[in-house]
Structure 1
Amino acid sequence: MLAIIGGTGFAQLTNLKITHRQVLRTPYGEPSGPMTFGTINQHEVMFLARHGYGHTIPPHEVNYRANLWSLRDQGATRVIAVTSVGGIRADLVPGTLVVPDQIIDYTYGRNFTYFDGKDKSVTHIDFTRPYNEKVRQQIIAAVKLAGEACVDGGVHAVTQGPRLETAAEINRLERDGADMVGMTGMPEASLAKELGLAYATIAVVVNQAAGRGGSRDGVPLETIGTVMGPAMERVRNILECAVGQDGD
């Protein structure tokens, strides 16, 4: 079954025909909110708002372990996560959709693995390719079916938040090879890998990162909403085309 994780600006999946909602509990606590179950084009889908349905959970306090565990526990095998990012690379202007293929983790203090505790053996995962390539290609195919456009590939830097970055920090990320910056991609991607979930991301560029383009004197937070609304509607159209591609 396909699971969709919604981020900032995507707390509701309006094209989902809801059948029921369920409050779930996991060995790692409660997820961000009740799981929403339903169908899109007669295909079963589950949806979870990463920040809660009232957008009240900041990036560093999201219970990523509970979120991913609950998805797998309810039968998800494929996960498409939607996340908002700032564009570092010059061509990643507001409104651009990106399907990243690499990630750099700058977060700290988050519960980032299921393999901790004295009762568990030391376990390593191969994170060379952080996103599932089959799901990435399914997203890209869905973009074309929806008549939309996206950037195929890119390095997603994940910072701690909730504050935005300084211009100097963005310069550092650029030197490290990052193309975009967000706050929620990790440990979400690595936890999905630990659980064997096929996970990929649609990144929505909602602003230019600090010191870039029109944000040289500061990120214009008041304009993000005007970009986010139409961009998230495009994402919904893409998701309609993505369901059913893997036998969901």
Structure 2
Amino acid sequence: MIGIIGGSGIYNIEGARIIKEINISTPFGKPSSPVVIMDIEGREVAFLSRHGRGHIYPPHLVPYRANLWAFREIGVSRVLSLSAVGGINRKLQPGDYVVISDFIDLTKNRKSTFYEGIRSIRVEGEDKPAKLLREGKVVHIDVSEAYCPQMKTVLYKVLEDLNLPFHAEGIYACTEGPRFETPAEIRAIEKLGGDVVGMTGYPEVVLARELTMCYASLCVVANPAAGISGKRLTSQEVIELMKSKDQEIKLLIKRFVSELPEERTCNCKNALEDAEV
């Protein structure tokens, strides 16, 4: 099953036929929102609002582990993340799409792994993640290719077919939030190679990988990052930009779901091989 996580301004997928809504409680707490199972192009898709209904979770308090574990419990094997970002690379314009290819973690206080060795939460299940947790294993996953190449290829095709402005690669710098970054911080991130900045891309990507899920991140540039345009940053301009892209995003999701092959041909499902100590 495909799971979709909607970020700021993306709280539902209107027009999709809703099959059911699931309230899940996980060993890692309750997810941000109920998981909505819907029919898109004849395929079951799970949707979850990252910030919750009514946007009640700030970036640093999003229950990332619960969100991904809830997806695992209902059989999600691929996750598409949708989010708004600030543009650092001068080639990026507001409204452009960016398919993320790598990340820089600049967060400070987030639980970024399921595997905590002797302190791991013991869970039920017979898959490898559950067994590693019950055994209290220490796990080091490889993130040389954190974003699923198969999913990215489909995103490229869909974006091209829809004639939408996009960039096939982009390095996502994740900051702690909830405040926006300073101009000095943006200059530092630019020197590190960051193309876009956001507050929610990490640890979501690595948590998905720890559960052997495929993960792809499609971002919309909402505005230039701090200090680049010289203008004051506001949350309202982010929400308004995302609202203006609403119909595009719905169509993009529909096409992506219909074109993603059923079979996983990538190596994401093998992320836990030789990772345990």
Q: TM over 0.5: same fold?
A: yes
Query: Which residue of structure 1 lines up, in the alignment, with residue 248 of structure 2?
Result: 234
Give the structure 1 partner of residue 87 of structure 2: 87
Structure 2 letter corresponding to 1:246: P
Identity of aligned residues (%): 37
**Residue matched to 1:157:** 173
Whether contact under 8 Å (1:15, 1:40) holds in the other structure is: no
Amino acid at match of 2:109: G
Report the TM-score when normalising by structure 2. 0.85
Tell me the residue number matched to 1:134.
150
Q: 1:223 to 1:50 in 2, by over 3 A?
A: closer
Tell me the residue number matched to 2:107.
107
C-alpha distance in 1, partners of 2:174/2:56?
20
| Distance in 2 (alpha carbons) for counterparts of 1:204 and 1:5 | 14
RMSD between aligned alpha carbons? 1.4
Whether the aligned pair in 1 keeps the contact of 2:141 and 2:210 (CA below 8 Å) is: yes
The AA in structure 2 aligned to 1:223 is E
Which whole-Å CA distance do the structure 1 matches of 2:252 and 2:146 have between them?
Answer: 22
Structure 2 unmatched ranges of 5 or more: 120-135, 264-277
Q: Spell out, residue by residue over 1:74-120, the C-alpha distance to the aligned partner (whole angstroms, 9 max, x if none).
A: 01111100011000011212111110101000011111101104151
Q: Deviation of residue 144 (structure 1)? A: 2.3
Query: How do 1:29-40 and structure 2 match up within 5 A?
Result: 29-40=29-40
Contact 2:117 2:138 in 1 (8 A): no
Q: Runs of at least 4 residues of structure 1 off by over 4 A?
A: none
Q: How far apart, CA to CA, are the structure 2 residues paired with 1:198 and 1:221?
A: 30
> Counterpart amino acid of 2:244?
P
Q: Output one character per residue of 1:121-151: Cα deviation in whole Å (capped at 9) or x when no partner.
A: 2211001112111111111112223332311
Q: Which residue, 208, 214, 239 being the options, matches 2:224?
A: 208
Task: Return the alpha-carbon distance in structure 1 between the equivalents of residues 8 and 24 of structure 2.
Answer: 22
Q: Is the 8 A contact 2:84 2:238 kept in 1?
A: no
If the length of structure 1 is used for normalisation, what is the TM-score?
0.95
Taking the aligned partners of 2:161 and 2:26, their CA distance within structure 1 comes to: 37
The alignment partner of 1:233 has SS state of helix
1:3 Cα offset (Å): 0.7
* Structure whose CA Rg is larger: 2
* Distance change >3 Å, CA 102–CA 42, structure 1 → 2: same
